[in-house]
Amino acid sequence: MEEHAKRLHPFKIPFELWKFLKGNVFFIIMLYALNFGSEKMYMKILQIVFLVYLIWNVLSIILKWYTYKYKIKEGTIYIASGIISKSYRTVPLHKVQNVQQRTTLFHKIFGLTSLTFETGMTGDQGTLPFEVISRKEAERLEGEYSSKQELQVIELDIPEERIAEEPIEKTIHFTPTKQDVLKASFTSLSFLALIPIVATLYNTLDDFINLENAEGFFAKLLDTWWIITIVFVGLICIAVAFGIISTFVKYGKYEISSDHDRIYIKKGLLDESAFSIQKEKVQAVEITQSIIKRALGLAEVKLISAGSTGDEELETNTLYPFLSIEMAYGMVEEILPAYKVERSMESLSKQAFKIRMLRPSFFWILTTVAIYYFKPSLWYISLILLAIIYTLRILDYKNSRYLLNDEFIQFKSGSLETSLFITKRSKVIQIEVERTKLQKLFGLASIETINRSKPVHHTKLQDVSVEYADEFYTWYTGRTKNIQVE
């Protein structure tokens, strides 16, 4: 029996209306709250124009919901949409690479959720969102997708007895402890978010209460040292508590798990998100450390996928951003057995240090010229800037590493924030080896790998020896031995 075309849940209408109102709250307050009953002609015109704009958007939201229909037939999703001109879209489920589910507070209140299928296509065609659907419908869509993936496994001529021996069971690799949440709250500096909130509250109160009269009272009160100490400690406690709570809300219920084929990441307390990615679609792994994380021995692991990885704000492609460095290395190898992380790597040569000290900084030159021309009395800023530039260069030189290990390659670079990049030869779609005139004098070169992602991911390492650059080129030309067609 053929499936009838379906619409998204009717609550898609208030969901879109809420997003529209939230995006235009400034204009609504300015036009209808602060200037309500204004006799100014231009204000009346603006109010009428915005009201027409509001009515048009409400009608547009309703019509878009009504005209948007989808159905699944023989492993393919068919979508029809459009108010004035109709558009039709066809997406085979085997093209879907990642699946993301998000349940905001709005969805939770009404027992709904959102589901997004990510493909390897570019632009708007790369995602297939179902923003407001029932949980039952989300399970059905995921079931259709999963059954298509299982069918592909059978088409690969894998013996049925082998499939039976490998039941799909998820292995949970990580759930944060209370100690992990505490580390995350300090490392993420989330407690600093309290500062703009307090400033906003102060400005809001100032509109209703004359705080200037109270300033004298507070000034006298704060003359006492023990009151200052209590206030200072109190503010610190409030900031820390705010940071812990906000971190728990964002990373609560965090779970990293995997089965034979996919990696699953779940997180969020009020705003829940779930993300899954096929292991074979992971093009590379990137382990980053900020200066704070390095001091605390923490790291963030990102999975670079062939398709889009959803909303960047949700960090859906990130394994828990506050893993200990050893746990981060171990988890990569545990979740992705095809990847290996080598701790020992080759450092750059002394020639690389020399060239980095001699390479001119055009930013410093232009800044110095501008200071000399406009404000010669600030000449010392040029010296401070030069010291900062060379300090960062020295740090980047010390942190830079590289390694070729059979079919794997590893780059590490960065000054204040370091990034360790790991990929397989079969996942690299293009390489570049280039040499500037200055590099030729020192026998050095720059190498770069390009991996499939959205956008395409470039990783570059400067000032490696020309011998290593030749080895890198030879290494890549051998990719035909283990290339995978995706």
Distance CA 329, CA 11 (A): 43
Which is more confident, 220 or 409?
409
pTM: 0.72
**Number of residues in the chain:** 486
Residue 191, pLDDT score: 54
Distance CA 160, CA 163 (A): 5
Mean pLDDT in the chain?
Answer: 81
Both structure tokens of 250 = 């964002």
pLDDT at 198 exceeding the cut of 90: no
Which is more confident, 22 or 397?
397
Residue 100, pLDDT score: 86
Pick from 2-6, 460-464, 471-475, 482-486: least confident: 482-486
Rounded to whole angstroms, what are the CA distances from 250 to 178, 243, 302, 320? 14, 11, 18, 11
pLDDT at 238 exceeding the cut of 80: no
Q: What is the pLDDT of residues 45-94, one digit of tens each?
A: 888 898 899 999 999 999 999 999 998 888 888 898 888 888 888 888 87
Q: What is the pLDDT of residues 446-468, one digit of tens each?
A: 999 998 877 788 999 999 999 99
**Percent of the chain at pLDDT above 90?**
30
| CA nearest to 322, candidates 430, 437, 186 | 186
Interval 354-369 mean pLDDT: 93
Residue 118, pLDDT score: 81
The reply to whether omega before 176 is within 30° of 0 (cis) is no
110 Cβ contact list (under 8 Å, min separation 6): 11
Q: Burial, 101: exposed, middle or buried (Cβ in 10 Å; 0-12, 13-18, 19+)?
A: buried
pLDDT at 413 exceeding the cut of 90: yes
Residue 225, pLDDT score: 62
pLDDT classification of 230: cutoffs 50, 70, 90: confident
